[in-house]
């Protein structure tokens, strides 16, 4: 039984294109990670490339890139053209010179990807090589300093606290459980307790992370790695009622390959290449230096043409595999 037969074409998958905000879940990967886990295409544009991101006026919003997840490269390309800070046409498929593609499978936290993640990267690397690109193994970027991994959370908590102060006169009371998730409230309290010096330290840490990743990306045309490195998270893995330390640890691990591209302002995308033995998508991340969005998008078109994915679907709620 296929649940799709009960859905109209207009409702299928709710929408062919779903809007996402990179960093929305305080992870740095809220376009790419859902795309990877759902077998969809997700593209995070360079910092300031989208109209909402170009108007960012606080620390956390400056880490945000607007984008979407979709079933085709064309749909994402059209969405990004429509929401660009500066008017532009779609990139479209086009000629692409042979690229130097650096491949790695260890996260910025020093954690090796799962066997499924490594297998997906191997598959993507072989596909890139077959298309004429020069593929080589490289050492991936690393986060410097034990506390640097928490910098994202400090900035997010401090920025949300500022937004809460703006909301208070509108609501007539400070935002609480009726307006914000438990995780958000706990994160704000944690960041507040750390004090303003922690925010300054976090800003510097993110600047270093961004500079390090930009330097790494300057050494290759494209970097290829898993989008997420661990075992597939179960439903409720990031449930907002879980303890703060548990959610922070799980978020850090899940975003180990994606988070650094936000402070770097670098374009990156999750491409649905790689599937587990039981038919679940894995996904690979490809990234480039800031401003090289068009080149990365053309690579996505090339990969999609060589290894189409629109017909591939994870098993539905009844356990039926719909890949045909």
Q: What is the pLDDT of residue 28?
A: 60
**286/265 Cα distance (integer angstroms):** 14
**257/33 Cα distance (integer angstroms):** 10
DSSP 89: -
Question: Which domains occur in the chain, in start order?
Answer: 18-144+204-306 (3.90.1300.10)
**320/324 Cα distance (integer angstroms):** 10
**Whether residue 297 has pLDDT greater than 60:** yes
DSSP 232: P
Report the percent of the chain where pLDDT is more than 90.
Answer: 69
Closest residue by Cα to residue 313 from 324, 302, 297, 298: 324
Q: What is the pLDDT of residue 41?
A: 98
**265/290 Cα distance (integer angstroms):** 6
Question: Looking at the DSSP assignment, which residues form a beta bridge with residue 137?
Answer: 103
**Whether residue 238 has pLDDT greater than 80:** yes
**191/212 Cα distance (integer angstroms):** 25
Q: What is the mean pLDDT of the chain?
A: 86
Lowest-confidence region among 58-72, 85-99, 293-307: 58-72
**Whether residue 324 has pLDDT greater than 70:** no
């Amino acid at each position: 039984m296929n649940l799709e037969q009960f859905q109209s074409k207009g409702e299928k998958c709710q929408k062919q294109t779903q809007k996402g905000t990179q960093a929305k879940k305080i992870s740095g990967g809220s376009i790419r990670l859902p795309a990877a886990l759902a077998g969809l295409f997700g593209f995070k544009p360079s910092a300031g490339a989208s109209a909402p991101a170009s108007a960012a006026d606080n620390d956390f919003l400056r880490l945000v890139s607007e984008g979407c997840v979709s079933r085709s490269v064309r749909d994402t390309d059209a969405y990004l053209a429509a929401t660009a800070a500066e008017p532009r046409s779609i990139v479209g498929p086009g000629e692409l010179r042979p690229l130097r593609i650096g491949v790695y499978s260890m996260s910025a936290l020093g954690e090796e990807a799962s066997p499924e993640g490594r297998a997906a990267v191997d598959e993507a690397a072989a596909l890139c090589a077959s298309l004429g690109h020069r593929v080589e193994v490289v050492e991936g970027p690393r986060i410097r300093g034990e506390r640097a991994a928490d910098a994202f959370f400090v900035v997010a908590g401090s920025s949300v606290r500022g937004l809460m102060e703006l909301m208070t006169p509108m609501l007539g009371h400070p935002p609480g459980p009726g307006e914000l998730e438990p995780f958000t409230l706990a994160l704000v309290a944690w960041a507040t307790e750390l004090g303003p010096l922690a925010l300054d330290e976090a800003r510097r840490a993110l600047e270093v992370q961004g500079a390090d990743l930009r330097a790494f990306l300057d050494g290759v045309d494209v970097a290829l790695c898993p989008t997420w490195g661990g075992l597939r998270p179960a439903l409720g893995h990031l449930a907002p009622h879980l303890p703060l330390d548990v959610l922070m640890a799980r978020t850090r691990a899940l975003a180990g390959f994606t988070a650094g591209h936000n402070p770097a302002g670098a374009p990156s995308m999750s491409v649905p290449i790689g599937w587990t033995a039981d038919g679940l998508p894995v996904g690979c991340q490809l990234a480039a230096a800031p401003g090289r969005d068009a080149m990365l998008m053309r690579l996505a078109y090339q990969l999609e043409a060589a290894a189409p994915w629109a017909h591939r679907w994870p098993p539905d709620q009844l356990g039926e595999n719909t890949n045909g």
